[in-house]
Structure 1
């Protein structure tokens, strides 16, 4: 028999109507349900109804924000329990409603806290037969939303409080209770499915950890605590918080991800941020964003407002194939809202606020964004469009900062994201998404070439030069990608299939510079285009209740266009003034020839939960690359003189190898786990770099050494700790490649690439502490070193600082000052490094610097006002890239931006 109770006063000023089934009732005592009253009839479609004096979830009558420290999911014989862990469950206020098959409950005096000390989103797809999705997310600064979506009807929801927190008991609308339907890689032990008297349903020991799912490390949904390698998840809330001071993803990730190089706002096109000293593979929804060319600003292809979360796997991995010798950054785009149509809008301005450039007119920029998403029966959709106009940059002294790349100051970036999904029955889904990014720049100031002639190393100064391009395009970077995906969760029974087909087209058009009298000896610039077509297929097959295998294939075909060097008329250039400097294109030559590169990867990955405490996984991947290039004549020889000699014959090459990985996790206690792994990576170098500067008589088949792919062996051990108010991680790594790839700068401004044995090693650590009810403190440490042995005599010398960045220390302190007002102070310290200079790989020693930022968020009406101050102390410093690059070419020796003020208002409805 089902009992129905009317509860008054449980959550303060409100009325809760609660259904208690016999299964749940045995765990509810009279102390947990005060003031029981008369029985009331209630709607059949919903089991929980809460009424409060206000319908506005943003209002908080109690005035205090209650911290929910953990979200857990416990299976029961009736379904599933979602536990919001807090010691103040009885002070939580709940407002619920239903929309179609969606149950929605808002708690307007609570906030979720993540292991990193930041807000997060808990999401579990297909957790129960009959329930398609459960989400727990921060709706705003003081409201938590719980949503449960039924397949054919509104789920049954039952509510409890206990010593561990607020509990939502969930069951499908059918009369027969179903056990949780987890994905094969998440399958629990049979004894965890049904609670016993020793392990009550409220706290089964097997499931005491929060469910925080990631997909990048294993290509399937997996609890982060079960993955035997270092992973960083940057959730939506943290992205929004950091975008209060910068919309550049490189800046955001440089401040939040251990192992990644520090921010580098002046030279985004250089992609100077490496991960553990090696190149990183960048994905959007699992689709690679970079080809084998110098179109290398993939982090600029998407706006932060279009991102749900970012997952970063640190260290070499062959799970996703080519280009991941340093790790993977997977940008996961927004999902549709749970019910109805939800719109978001944002408007912001920013300007210099330091030194003599305080609120300088030219420094003003603005940001506009609008997006909407929703569901309509079997359809769902997401759309977002944004425009980011960046003004001029000024350093701490108030001097204008010149930049000679296409993605810095005086730029306008637009991004459009569209996604449409179709649910085909209960187990199949089809989705298409399109992402387009465009970054264009007006050149009004450039670095003064006279800086190169002044003795001693000088800070670059800016001179006015309003560039007018004739017969060609203005500087820009564009990229368009389309992705069609299909999922089937019940293929031939319980196999899960995921398939993708994608297309990507990118182009970079650079900034012209006057290189007369030095390398190039002309007024020139470069442009490059590339396109790629590829597909991914994977099937997850359960072998037993505790074992599954993931297997499949990846394929990609890249077509790299000719890398052109455009030449401009020196007479027209000299005859015009800096108020309108004419850049009339008079010719072009092929700097790097076009080529094709295809890759095919076949893989299998086994996961085995030996016990509740010990989990192992491992697998292999066979990778094959095919390279072809037509006959071409190099522009320059290996002495950088005009090439005189026979053309290089056309050629076709293929490379293949098999790489392995093996990892294990041991859970010492429910709060502490150890992990270790061995993983190999396999990727080809940037082939275009060896298709110029060639000696006379060079043939690709006979001189193939430089083209050989790089195979990296990586060893890593680490520990994770997750207690009630303290979270910590510590990891150490070492990797080695017998044929590494590094570079050296030459005095004439060119780069020499070196193939030699290479080793990288380092330590990464994080610590986050909920110091008090409204205070959070955290820190992160990254120390990485790298060396190579060019003479192969056993003596290793330090790599360039552009490849292995110095020590990085981050820290923050955050305070929820009032329910609607949050303040955060964060710092970034980058240490000095002279090992590269002493080894001759750097031209200068790298000096340390410190940056302090301030972020404040105010709840105003139904939206949020965010104020960010970058470089709060107005420190004068040069980034790692500016220092290391400036030693090679003084025009790169810039100070970074001084104090910069940003104000944004974001609203959802």
Structure 2
């Protein structure tokens, strides 16, 4: 066991120094005053409340100040308070136009900076962010809300600034400002029909009664007596475009500022596609292929050609067993090496499931789905405050799913319950406890062997036995403390625990014999095989300036232990396992003795120390630098019944760096380049007894991120080159041992697009080319492709929702998913054919209810996926009907 004292001592000393440095900057009482004195042309409006609604001087009365990028850098206001969360944006029609309300209880802490130009009224609000109570960011947009105004948008300009923009059709609109302790900041926009010189005098208005977002608002006649104006609002929380993510940096950072490709599948896509198995969400992401297998109970992914058995849930490694779909808010896919933040991860990338969190307002939802192959699923999602002061919040997700299958002898039922409690004793402190219990009971399915005759068989055929079973139980719990110390220092510390029990007995399939019809089988038993995982993560995040350069520094510590107490892993019986694939006869008996049983145990301890700095060199030039040092001690043992113990181990350390640069020549465009490394331990020893070096991945990536259609649509185009070295290969001098000399490469281009082209018309699409191949090996030919790594693939899903009239709320959707051919077995290649799957959907929502029909594989295409060895027939035409209710 490595000694933890020195690394822990070093981490403690750095943490103390880091905290003192940030607090020292924060507590400098003259900093803000000095900044304003040195920049007398900088105009800010401090919102201080003295009345219920207080008129604020119009921004049109202020002199615009920023005339160049250099001046913008020098004169941008220094943050003077913590980031204020604006939790909702409302639009209410008035007799003179419309008022837009930025709802927050801390309006008095905000400042406004004038950027108005031409026909555009533009106001930036530093130290603020649009963020829903669930934690998601969002954008408010209203197209042609009133006469003379073509668009109103409220969006996150960056992680620390909200931008309010009102675009006039002919001239700059007249906008008045008010603040209210009950509502927040109010922007009153006058229509061209009602704007008069007198309107520019200070007035006080009471906000209209607010209505739910994303619905047509009731209107009032304009001052001129014209017909009422219909106000239609669309919100980012109901969009396919996501603006930021924490997976890539462990901080809330806009995606456009991250020098790495990261794609997010939000709740809206999961709902519109009626995804019942959460891994299917990643079919919308370029370069990602979910692997099918192990009774469809586990999530394994091939990303950029590399297979990753470790998924994340809220940033914690949870192995291959996913959380319930009903409890997942969104799916985030980080492309490329992620070891700098998460340790032992394959270089292709990682998938992170972000779960639903408590809401501050009451929310109740129920949903029921019924579909083909006797599929039934019911879910409830309740959330809200438990106390009147909203300091104690909760969320409860419960789901039950029962299904048959298009495969013989295969059915299952799943049950999950996921309560979350958040306690906020103050504005700066939040303590969250989250628990999830899952239970799966069902059959088992190994599908078809990797041989050509298998593709001619009916997709219903199962070569297991009717009494095979796969029973799984898991418990997950986490406790997270989020503590802010003033405006620029944050401590986030979390404990995580998971236990997983596998109790199953099933027939394995092997190869088809030379006669082309006889299949070899064996029997496997997992007798309550238990694994436990413990983890503690602590992050210290500080924001400070060194001169004109802004920093967001992350210092982190992770301790984890993964254990598997000794348990019965498998029991084989070869004598009764043969079966004819064209005329199968079932009824093979289970083994009655333990003569071939094997016992397994394992333990892996990890200590990771990581440091990351997000540096804003200029307003349009950002640098990301980070590194992590891991200390790993791993030992795994197997022991045949009555035999000797066979152990493999790894004891060592590894450093994983990352550096990236983002340049934004104009606001909608981000050009980036990055370099990053990853590692995965190699267990075992060489013939001479030496510990094998870990496998290392190195990636170079360049790309461009853009925001189109007035920031409604985002696109990422990335090119990458990954080399993975120190891969285990057979020792040519002693075939009983391995040496780490193998190498593989993966190169490719990816495109991902998501967002809203026009009001109601949403799209998420992807396409990729990937060349993943063996570049060095002792036994596998150089140039052979990697398993489940398609050379090309693409996807397109789009929906349109009618925005007005009697059919408002009616939505149509369609999608195409293409995956090229892949090999399923690298040592003896077997090709899985390419396929194109077409889906469609229709739904209708009105008030608080929604009904939907989803049609998957509407042309009944026969296609296959793989787990890197077997060929798994996928579902034929499938229909799902859903009724949901929110109140």
State if a TM-score over 0.5 links the two structures.
Answer: yes
Q: Which residue of 1 aligns with 2:359?
A: 337
Please state if 1:486 is matched with 2:487: no
Distance verdict in 2 for CA 1:760–1:241, change over 3 Å: same
1:865 to partner: Cα distance: 0.7
Question: 1:498 aligned to 2:548?
Answer: no
Shift of 1:482: 0.8
Which of 644, 649, 655 lines up with 1:658 in the alignment? 655
| Corresponding position: 1:548 with 2:531 | no
Aligned partner of 1:903 among 875, 881, 887: 881
Q: CA deviation at 1:261?
A: 0.8
Distance 1:411 1:350, change over 3 A: same
The whole-number CA distance in structure 1 between the counterparts of 2:676 and 2:866 is 29
Query: Partner residue of 1:184?
Result: none
- Structure 1's 619 and 456: CA in aligned 2 closer, same or farther, altered over 3 A? closer
Q: In structure 1, what is the equivalent of residue 628 of structure 2?
A: 621
Cα distance in 2, alignment partners of residues 455 and 870 from structure 1:
24
Change in 2 beyond 3 A, CA 1:466/1:482: same
- Please state whether the residue corresponding to 1:876 is helix, strand or coil: coil
Mapping for residues 264-663 of structure 1, pairs under 5 Å: 264=292, 268-269=296-297, 271=299, 273-280=301-308, 281-290=310-319, 296=320, 298-299=321-322, 302-318=323-339, 319-339=341-361, 341-351=362-372, 363-375=373-385, 376=387, 377=389, 378-393=391-406, 401-402=407-408, 409-442=410-443, 458=457, 462=461, 467-468=466-467, 474-490=469-485, 494-513=488-507, 522-526=522-526, 528-544=529-545, 546-562=550-566, 564-567=568-571, 583=590, 586-587=593-594, 591=598, 593-629=600-636, 633=639, 647-648=645-646, 653-663=650-660
Scaled by the length of structure 1, the TM-score of the pair is 0.67
Note the alpha carbon deviations across 1:276-332, whole angstroms, 9 max, x for none: 112334211122101xxxxx3x23xx2222122222111111212122532222211
Instruction: Confirm whether residue 217 of structure 1 aligns to residue 248 of structure 2.
Output: yes
State the distance in 2 between where 1:516 and 1:880 align: 15
2:716 aligned partner: 729
Q: Which consecutive residues of structure 1, in runs of 5 or more, have no partner in the other structure?
A: 4-16, 38-43, 48-71, 94-109, 114-120, 129-133, 136-149, 165-209, 291-295, 352-362, 394-400, 404-408, 636-642, 691-698, 744-751, 886-891
Counterpart CA distance in 2 for 1:774 and 1:516 is 50
**Partner residue of 1:90 out of 146, 151, 155:** 146
Alpha carbons 1:448, 1:460 under 8 Å: kept: no
Q: CA deviation at 1:561?
A: 3.4
Alpha-carbon distance in 1 for matches of 2:128, 2:569: 68
Which residue matches 1:829? Answer: 818
Superposed CA deviations along residues 565-620 of structure 1, whole A, max 9, x for unmatched, are 4448999999xx99988647543755363121111111111111000110001011
User: Contact 2:346/2:697 (CA < 8 Å) preserved in 1?
Assistant: no
Match of 1:783 among 744, 766, 769: 769
Aligned residue runs from structure 1 range 40-119, under 5 A: 74-75=124-125, 84-90=140-146
SS in 1 for 2:282: helix
- Aligned-partner Cα distance in 2 for 1:467–1:249: 27
Q: Secondary structure at the match of 1:668?
A: coil
1:76-127: CA deviation from partner (whole Å, max 9, x where unpaired): 699999973333233899xxxxxxxxxxxxxxxx9999xxxxxxx9899998
* Equivalent residue number for residue 809 of structure 1: 794
Name the SS for the 2:124 alignment partner.
Answer: strand
Does the aligned pair in 2 maintain the 1:719–1:731 contact within 8 Å? yes
1:454 positional shift: 7.5
CA distance in 2, matches of 1:655, 1:592: 26
Report the equivalent of 1:694: none
Quick check: 2:129–2:161 contact (8 Å CA) kept in 1? no
**What is the match of residue 62 of structure 1?**
none
Aligned residues, how many?
691
CA–CA distance in 2 between the matches of 1:272 and 1:753?
A: 26
Deviation of 1:509 after TM superposition, in Å, equals 3.3
Taking a change above 3 Å as real, the CA distance of residues 429 and 337 of structure 1, as seen in their structure-2 partners, is: closer
Distance in 1, Cα, partners of 2:454 & 2:708: 57
C-alpha distance 422-92 of structure 1, shift in aligned 2 (>3 A):
farther
8 A Cα contact 2:127 2:161, kept in partner: no
1:18/1:159 contact within 8 Å kept: no
- Quote how far apart the aligned CAs of 1:526 are: 3.9
Equivalent residues of 1:19, 1:158 under 8 A apart: no
1:396 match: none
The Cα shift of 1:263 comes to 6.8
Query: What SS class does the counterpart of residue 237 from structure 1 fall into?
Result: helix
Secondary structure of 2:618's match?
Answer: coil
Aligned to 1:293: none
What is the Cα deviation at residue 874 of structure 1? 1.2
Q: Per-residue deviation at 1:841? A: 3.9
Determine the C-alpha separation between the residues in 2 that align with 1:448 and 1:787: 25
Q: 1:831: how far off?
A: 1.8
Deviation, 1:813, is: 3.3
User: CA 1:504/1:157 → structure 2, altered by over 3 Å: closer, same or farther?
Assistant: same
Q: Is the 8 A contact 2:300 2:307 kept in 1?
A: no
What is residue 750 of structure 2 aligned with on the other side?
Answer: 764
Contact kept, 8 Å, 1:618 with 1:663, in 2: the verdict is yes
1:659 is paired with a residue whose SS is: strand
Between the aligned partners of 2:786 and 2:456, the Cα distance in structure 1 is 19
For residue 189 of structure 2, what is the aligned residue in structure 1? Answer: 161
Q: Give the counterpart of 1:710 among 664, 671, 695.
A: 695
Task: Give the TM-score taking structure 2 as reference length.
Answer: 0.68
How much does 1:543 deviate?
3.5
Q: Is the 8 A contact 1:828 1:851 kept in 2?
A: yes
1:398 matched residue in structure 2: none
State the distance in 1 between where 2:795 and 2:186 align: 43
Provide the secondary structure at the position in 1 that maps to 2:664. strand
Mark the runs of 5 or more structure 2 residues left unpaired by the alignment: 1-44, 64-91, 98-103, 108-121, 132-137, 165-178, 193-240, 514-518, 579-583, 731-737
What residue is the counterpart of 2:676 in the other structure?
Answer: 679
In structure 1, distance between residues paired with 2:470 and 2:126: 60
